[in-house]
Structure 1
């Protein structure tokens, strides 16, 4: 069993872990990244938000991402399942939004770019290294991990950053996970060719198709490669008593807005399943430990917030860890501020997600008006801007007030959700 010492050990090499590692290396810290998989590897969560660009620039990785040739995303379209109505969010039209476009990415390639960038900055990246134990002590953190050949190794650091994703390694060990009530979901997804997607100025748009109690995503990854996924309640899935792919196929047939686009579709890969959406951890920080990305919590992906929140928390978490090491402390008040700030950022998306499944929200959201620049404020929030101006904030509050009024006293035209 070999032993080594680092400033920081990062569990996980996805967007949160790679961002944390790159940020720490920019600050001059020694970093060990332990990633259980061998990159590149398949992953879901392929649609980015415009404000990812800020972090790409700060990390110095934007030129590498540009060179990868990913699909440009200029907007997001929200459709009713029967195709009767839809609305489009054009990121270039929001007066509070500074970035006009984003990207649709194949995560295998995208995540590999980020991890290799952290490695080029000097992070020691160990792939196929499964963390099995960790121990936080007064003066250091000890981590045990199993490498590909089965050997167990041990490493020590001043701090541990958990970027283990939905594995939620340290929080699960401490029994900290809480699910959002009523939001236990399952997603069934795959990649398809022959899907009829939008063209012209709308080429690259993500399509979100709203069904009565579930929804589809359709994300164009290349000219003839589209990610298509169905998200529904676990209870609903279990009640159907069918295999995941059967549930997916039947939902496609019953959803006109999806069926018509997939009439000539052929599967490249299909039948992938992900469960247990939308949870939070009761603690994001403790002595010598900071949780980032999905290991800080996960929310329903309907508004494509996952990668951006992962990278924001990875960068901000790394900054407070660097400051704590510089101060020679195991815990700082700045770490607690990081936790509060993370919950606020997640909360901004959650207020949309929580209401997305309700009829009164749909009746306002699918019939938008830019009076008082309300649509601009919504655009700003869903583009991922975290530092909201006062003007955008009060307009968002007005929007959600209108949604609440719609529930009791209709002010928008009634619509059917089928």
Structure 2
């Protein structure tokens, strides 16, 4: 690799957040270089989109690609109680009658290639197989990166802004010890894929289903994908899932026994891969930006996957950071205050989704809540679709608190 361009912005990482921030900046005529250490396609978990991704995908020019893809269309989410009782589906279109209310269950390896190809087509210079060794600083200001190619050749690449979209590798988060774990959501996950598993028909075929374990200690996701594949994973407390247990396969089988509703769905299916595991769950960086640098996507924070918010948060943080960077480049201000001006509002939205996650783990029952507060059905659906960034949603949590003993109301 011989990187001889002189970019305005260097982006570390080619996943959804990196592709988003780089594309939006390049659309405004700025020179953007994206450095991705792997070669796409590559496997990644995080397969279910929620409707609010539509608006960022539209800005990126991705909608036609998505509509012509083989991804399964998703119209709703449904919950199954510990006793096996199914909630009524939350149909997104009922709340927001617009084409944005149909989204997709994606294969990330394919989706991420589509996003990166789209970035290239809109002017981003992409280097795959390029490993960023470090971010260079002059005083407290980021001024570029040190990068090494697969032949072992190293060089420095200077830029006005460095965007860390390195995912859970969290290059700058680890460098500056910014990463703060969330003790309330110390979870882990085990998952695999099945071919020929049961799926509903019609517009329910692509629904995400969240199935509670019989003993309420965790839940399964059930995500229908293309090629007759279903992604099936269990999430529970880290200690429960990984300490004092045997192999991942044995633990997964035990939890499948603990969820008859999901076991019934895969009874005649063929398991297509070994059980995979992740143990690095909810966390957030203590700051999203500094002078000359910004964190986006999982490099800034990761939230429990209960409501499939991962790709939305990647796209949204990429969008908000891009707008702040563009404004900063236009005005000549790439300070922490300018590059991180989006952080407070983004964190408020992220906290609303986090609160809904915590309520679920505390035993929140969607059906019971909607029966008691029917006027909140639209607001709850807004939360589920990822329309998180508006203060009027906070009244939902005020009323959730009225259903609890005062001592247990969440702060």
TM-score range, shorter chain: over 0.9
User: Hey, what does 2:240 align to over in structure 1?
Assistant: 236
Alignment correspondent of 1:54: 55
Question: Could you tell which deviates more after superposition, 224-233 or 366-375?
Answer: 366-375
User: What CA distance in whole angstroms lies between the structure 1 residues aligned with 2:39 and 2:2?
Assistant: 21
Does 332-341 or 265-274 show the bigger shift? 332-341
Aligned partner of 2:398 in structure 1 is 401
* Aligned twin of 1:219: 223
| Partner residue, 1:412 | none
1:143 partner SS? strand
Q: Distance in 2 between matches of 1:370 and 1:76?
A: 20
Equivalent residue number for residue 32 of structure 1 = 33
Distance 2:42 2:368 in 1: 36
2:82 is aligned with 1:78? no
Further displaced range: 107-116 or 175-184: 175-184
- Cα deviations by residue, 1:320-347 (Å, 9 ceiling, x for unpaired): 1122122222316443321112211211
Work out whether 1:293 is the aligned partner of 2:314: no
Alignment deviations for residues 15-45 of structure 1 (CA, whole Å, 9 cap, x no partner): 0000111101101111111111110111111
1:350 is aligned to 2:354: yes
Residue 365 of structure 1 deviates from its aligned partner by 4.7
Residue 372 and residue 76 in structure 1: after superposition, are their counterparts in 2 closer, same or farther (change >3 A)? closer
Does 1:136 pair with 2:137?
yes
Moved more, 32-41 or 136-145: 136-145
Alpha carbons 1:37, 1:129 under 8 Å: kept: yes
1:146-197 deviations in Å (ceiling 9; x for gaps) = 2122222321111100111111111111101101123222111122112112
Q: Counterparts in 2 of 1:49-198, with a 5 A limit? A: 49-94=50-95, 99-137=100-138, 141-198=143-200
Give, in whole Å, the separation in 1 of the partners of 2:234 and 2:368: 20
Residue of structure 2 in register with 1:414 after alignment: none
Q: Are the aligned partners of 2:212 and 2:259 in contact in 1 as well (CA < 8 Å)?
A: no
- Cα separation, 2, equivalents of 1:223 and 1:140: 45
- The CA deviation at 1:262 is 1.0
Structure 2 CA distance for aligned equivalents of residues 266 and 130 of structure 1: 37
Work out whether residues 96 and 377 of structure 1, in 8 Å CA contact, stay in contact via their aligned partners in 2.
no
- In the alignment, the residues of structure 2 paired with residue 367 and residue 326 of structure 1 have an alpha-carbon distance, to the nearest angstrom, of 48
Cα deviation code 1:102-137 (max 9, x no counterpart): 110000001110001001111111111111111122
Looking at structure 2, the residues matched to 14 and 235 of structure 1 have their Cα atoms a distance apart, in angstroms, of: 30
Query: Any idea what SS the aligned residue of 2:342 has?
Result: helix
Secondary structure at the aligned position of 2:160 is classed as strand
Task: Tell whether the 8 Å contact from 1:80 to 1:257 is kept in structure 2 after alignment.
Answer: no
Structure 2: how far apart are the matches of 1:327 and 1:2?
31
Root mean square deviation of aligned Cα: 2.1
Q: Please report the TM-score for the alignment, with normalisation by the length of structure 1.
A: 0.91
Partner Cα distance (1:34, 1:398) in 2: 43
- Could you tell me which runs of 5 or more consecutive residues in structure 1 were left unpaired when the two chains were aligned: 410-418
Distance in structure 1 (CA, Å) of the matches to 2:367 and 2:149: 49
Question: 1:38 and 1:2 mapped to 2: Cα distance?
Answer: 17
**CA-CA distance at 1:368 after TM superposition:** 2.8
* Structure 2: distance between partners of 1:281 and 1:333: 16
Pairs within 5 Å for 1:310-321: 310-321=314-325
Comparing 196-205 with 6-15, greater Cα deviation is found at 196-205
In 2, Cα distance between equivalents of 1:357 and 1:260 = 24
1:226-265 equivalence runs, <5 A: 226-265=230-269
Partner residue, 2:409:
none
Residue 377 (structure 1) shift = 0.9
**Aligned length in residues:** 402
Structure 2 CA distance for aligned equivalents of residues 14 and 193 of structure 1: 26
Give the one of 323, 331, 337 matched to 2:341: 337
Aligned to 1:413: none
User: Deviation of residue 406 (structure 1)?
Assistant: 2.4
Q: Distance in 1 between matches of 2:56 and 2:91?
A: 21
